[in-house]
Amino acid sequence: MQKPLKTASGRWCSELPENVADDVAFHMTDWLDDLARFAKFCAEPDKWKDEEIEEMLLSFLVHVPSHVAAASKLLTGLPVTDVFGIGAVEDESDNGQQRHQLGRAKATLRSAFARRLWRTLALRADAHI
């Protein structure tokens, strides 16, 4: 029989206060619609228009990571770290800069290279399913 999961703080997950368990559950489920859309894309990338890919991917990347980070922190007590060293967890509170970066991301997605990138992504995802 498998032992219950222990958090980094040494508590058993079954010992989490109810409100914390509820918060973890919320953060692990609020983005499931985003995941379903991404899975549909991975299953049939050629059926998606460039604009649909752009909207789906940006929505996923803006919405999902914060929820996963929050659930991880609540459950394990460990902070999210930038394991790839790309500044992924830096606090960029300048909304103007964020809008500029989002605009740049959209321009990249519209480029000729975007469709090849998404097909490669879909093939890699399919290999892992």
Q: How far apart are CA 47 and CA 101, in angstroms?
A: 28
Give the other-Cβ count within 10 Å of 71's Cβ.
18
pLDDT in tens, 64-114: 999 999 999 998 888 889 999 988 887 655 555 666 666 666 666 666 556
Packing angle of the helix pair 112-128, 32-43 (nearest 10 deg): 100
Q: What is the pLDDT of residue 6?
A: 52
Alpha carbons 109 and 99: distance in angstroms, whole number: 15
Q: What is the DSSP letter of 111?
A: S
- Express each pLDDT in 6-64 by its tens digit: 555 555 566 778 898 899 999 999 999 999 999 998 888 888 887 888 888 888 988 99
